[in-house]
Amino acid sequence: MSTPEHRALIYHDPAQFAGGAGAFAREGLEAGDHVLAVLTADRQDWLREELGGQAAAAIDFADAAGVYERHGPMFETVLGHLQRHAEPGRRRLRILAEQALALRHPVDVRAYLRYEAASNVAYERFDAAVLCPYDAGRLPAEILDAALQTHPEVLEDGRARRSERFADPRAFVRDGVRAEPLPAGAASLTLEGPDDLAPARAVTRAQARAAGLGEETVDDLAVAVGEITVNALIHGEPPQTLWTYVEDGHLVCRVRDAGSGLPDPLAGYLPPDRRRFSGRGLWLAHQLCDSVEIVSHDACTDVYLRTRLADGAGARRA
């Protein structure tokens, strides 16, 4: 079994993208690897032009806009490909993956970067090579720096090198979130025991409908809030509180308890152990919400569940 690779490709123009991505894909095809390219339409065109028709036809292409709509399901999709094509003893899987980060809301960007960090742990048991392009011409310096922190290696100007900025994945996820002040007028519900689970779901449904979310999304969010409420009541310390409010194009459901937080910052990012009943709530919340952020501060822990509003106000503003 080969050592898993996870590299960032920092590029400044289409030629640099095509050169780095094309070499990565071509090397995989020549080795008999399964090559998956999750790219926007224009990047797919650049890669096809670089490789030529016959080589491009051998690649499994996927539309980045659909795959990256929500990052929890995105990661579940990636893990499915790894399990099918990169288990030890099978041929190697190569993944070339880039979404249009410059067009995403900062909440979505933060979520993606946390998954970039967590993926380093997930890849450990697979025979895989992953190349993640980052457009230096459009992305701000802080995102490019985060790419260096979440990838053990970086490919720049055609040369691979170790990333001196690479950070421990758990530290990156834990330290990358900051507590936010509660907005005025946030609806609140005190949580004292199991009898408060139904009211928590009811408040969530009411606030989600008032925010204009569709019924399927309302149901998803109610389930996610229920799971996080149960976690706070079982594993946290009183007082426990649920707040709901609209902020920056999202409906936010925020659950607080006085506990010290998660023992493992990657809980919810990596699939739960199927042999155990615990650990599923956070994973499910990541699948059902656009973003899950957990921050421990001032002797309490906040879990933020964010869902983009139905009118698209969660999109990044130009």
- Condensed to tens digits (0 to 9), the pLDDT of residues 171-200 reads 999 998 888 999 998 999 999 999 999 999
What's the pLDDT at 159? 83
Residues of the chain above pLDDT 70, percent:
95
In this prediction, residues 302-307 reach a mean pLDDT of 97
In this prediction, residues 293-301 reach a mean pLDDT of 91
- Give the Cβ contact number of residue 261 at 10 Å: 18
| Cα angle, residue 63 at apex, residues 59 and 66 outer, rounded to 5° | 145
What the block records as the tokens of 13 is 């123009």
Contact status, residue 37 vs residue 60, Cβ threshold 8 Å? yes
Cα 62 → chain centroid? 17
Cβ-Cβ contacts under 8 Å for 101 (sequence gap 6 or more): 109, 112, 134, 135, 139, 143
Nearest-angstrom CA–CA distance, 156 and 153: 10
Q: What is the pLDDT of residues 243-285, one digit of tens each?
A: 999 999 999 999 999 988 888 999 999 988 776 656 689 999 9
Contact status, residue 91 vs residue 34, Cβ threshold 8 Å? yes
Contact status, residue 115 vs residue 290, Cβ threshold 8 Å? no
Q: Does the predicted model carry a pTM greater than 0.75?
A: yes
**Do 5-175 and 187-308 agree at the fold level?**
no
Domain regions of the chain by residue span:
5-175, 187-308
What's the pLDDT at 317? 31
CATH topology of domain 5-175: Rossmann fold (3.40.50)
What's the pLDDT at 1? 57
Q: Given the structure tokens 């649920």, which residue do they identify? A: 242
Q: What is the pLDDT of residues 127-143, one digit of tens each?
A: 999 999 999 999 999 99
Reply yes or no on domain 187-308 having CATH 3.20.20.70: no
Residues of the chain above pLDDT 90, percent:
84
